[in-house]
Amino acid sequence: MIRILRNLARLVVILRTLGRHDALFARELMDVAPGLGMLARLLSRRDVPGRPGQRLAAALTELGPSFIKLGQVMSTRSDVVGDQIAADLAQLQDRLPPFPAEEVRRIIESEFGVPVEELFESFDPTPTAAASIAQVHFAVLPRDAWPAAPGEAGGSGEGVRHGAPGYGLVSEAEDDIHRREVAVKVLRPRIEEAFRKDLDLFRWLSSLALWLQPRLRRLKPAQVVETFADTVKLEMDLRMEAAAASELRANFAGDDTFKVPQVDWDRTSRRVLTLQRIRGFKIDETESMRGAGIDPDLVLARASAAFFNQVFRDGFFHADLHPGNSFIDLQGNIVAIDFGIMGRVDRATRTYLADMLLGFLNGDYRRVAEVHFQAGYVPPHQSMETFTQACRAIGEPLLNKPLHEISIGRLLAQLFEVTERFEMETQPQLLLLQKSMITAEGVGRILNPDINMWELARPLIEEWMRENRGPEARLAEDLAGALRTLRALPGAVRQTEHAARTINEAGLRLHPETIALFLEAYGAKRQRMIWRLWIATMAVLALLAWALG
């Protein structure tokens, strides 16, 4: 009862806030739930400017951290909220007032058990960025801590902004300090409890919505909430973000065109993350780049190659590389920060993506349809010809546009719009990738609006296809599969022998509940058999009576 009352009180606040921003989507609700649509219409203002997604983003920002994060997760679900609303929600900025420096010190010292002065030579109490989950402070490591190599890009936390036109022309003492500079990310106090309460509210609201209107099931509210819960769970442990940064850094070892800050594991824990601090330009500061002699077209080519390598080569990609998380050093190399949202795609999905992208770029819509059926995304009972026609309807308009105006992210969004018509199951990893593609395309157009970054990556995709889809690659894959089977065979044989020996020595023992289920099933089956025997007997007797009569 307490839970219901608490959630009802919070629900009133949510409805008032959404209504004040005209973000209750009254018209859309009228189509699926007329009663809720009428209530939404009564609560909504009529004079609020902006698109529906912009109004929703403003309301979520006012409702606080949990709702901001929920909006960011919803921005990856264009299949649920639509393409335009997803794009508007992707612009949500989770900047909040900072929490006091005393709390920062308390959290750090409780995590490591020593004073801040023992961990850092200096620590700036003024945060450089404050977001919904954590805030970031700059610090300098002691001289005996790990040093970054000269010229190596460091890292920072969320939203660090500072140019460095002249960096490198410093004294030896200043250069020594630069190599020891770090950014320290600290979780907000009591943030776990705040999110726990809101997650309970979101789960309750999703179940309430389905109970009131089962037709809302197609929007998958429970699945959206669980996706959000999984995301928050990872972000609440900064060791997971550190591990993501470390893995991405290892994937690009030896490639200076895309850099990832080094993790200071000695000063990283569940609530504290310490990374090298970076110095450079934000990736959208094109005029500053040109002033430093950096060609934005070169940066765009490197961004395209880095995205390809993350998705196709490694199957592990940074899913939130907006301009605030991408910096350019003085050599024109890209440096990424903020690794709270990462995506993975397995080998089968990468193959599907390569086939699908090349099919659309080449106008081969039959091939696009075939890869969807081969991947199992479209059920086999659907019509290949009709789905090919749908792919043509999506891709053909692209052929009439200049290459630089083609958006692969938008193309994927339109492709997801036909999922319900062809009974395609939602693929969460592709939705996250689609969001990342749209973000990457936006950055690409800032760097040079006349160049399509996917065309720059096309040779890399085709080369990957030759290496991974040719006869030699398929033979190697078949041999690897056979080898895995051979390796697993002895274990399977041992397990079979053990099971047979156990049954032979001790008999087959069943759990009491299993026995009860067997008896119940047997009783029902026996009852059906008796009825069938009785009916058959009566039929035979009736037939004999008719024959003898």
Phi and psi of 405, rounded to 5°?
A: -95, -5
Band of pLDDT at residue 140, cut at 50, 70 and 90 = very high
262 DSSP 8-state letter:
P
Helices (H), 213-275: 221-235, 238-251
**Closest-CA residue to 179 (of 282, 277, 280):** 277
Pairwise pLDDT comparison (337 vs 510), residue with the higher score? 337
Q: Can you read off the two tokens belonging to residue 218?
A: 């197609």
Statement: the pTM of the whole predicted model exceeds 0.85? no
Least confident stretch, 93-107, 113-127, 271-285: 93-107
Taking a C-beta distance cutoff of 8 angstroms, is the pair 68, 61 a contact? yes
Residue pair 404/449 in contact (Cβ under 8 Å)? The answer is: yes
Tell me: the pLDDT tens digits for 164-211? 333 334 455 666 677 889 999 999 998 888 888 888 888 888 887 777
In this prediction, residue 272 carries a pLDDT of: 97
- By CB atoms closer than 10 A (0-12, 13-18, 19+), residue 498 is exposed
In terms of average pLDDT, the best of 96-110, 356-370, 456-470, 497-511 is 96-110
Token pair, residue 383, equals 């019509």
Contact 164, 281 (CB under 8 A): yes
Beta carbons of 108 and 116 less than 8 angstroms apart = yes
| Residues 130 and 253: beta-carbon distance below 8 Å | no
**Statement: residue 538 has pLDDT above 50:** yes
Give the active site residue among 94, 320, 329, 338: 320
Confidence (pLDDT) at 198: 84
Structure tokens at 520: 């119940």
Can 88 be counted among the known catalytic residues?
Answer: no
Distance CA 524, CA 112 (A): 63
Q: Please identify which residue in the block is written with the tokens 């990424």.
A: 336
pLDDT score at 266: 94
Q: Where are the alpha helices (DSSP H) in 400-470?
A: 408-417, 428-447, 453-469
Question: Could you read off the pLDDT of 302-313 as tens digits, one per residue?
Answer: 999 999 899 989
Q: Are 335 and 248 in contact (CB under 8 A)?
A: no
26: amino acid identity, one letter? A
* Residue 518 burial class via C-beta count within 10 angstroms: exposed 0-12, middle 13-18, buried 19 and up: exposed
Residues found in the chain: 549
Q: How confident is the model at residue 497 (pLDDT cuts 50, 70, 90)?
A: low
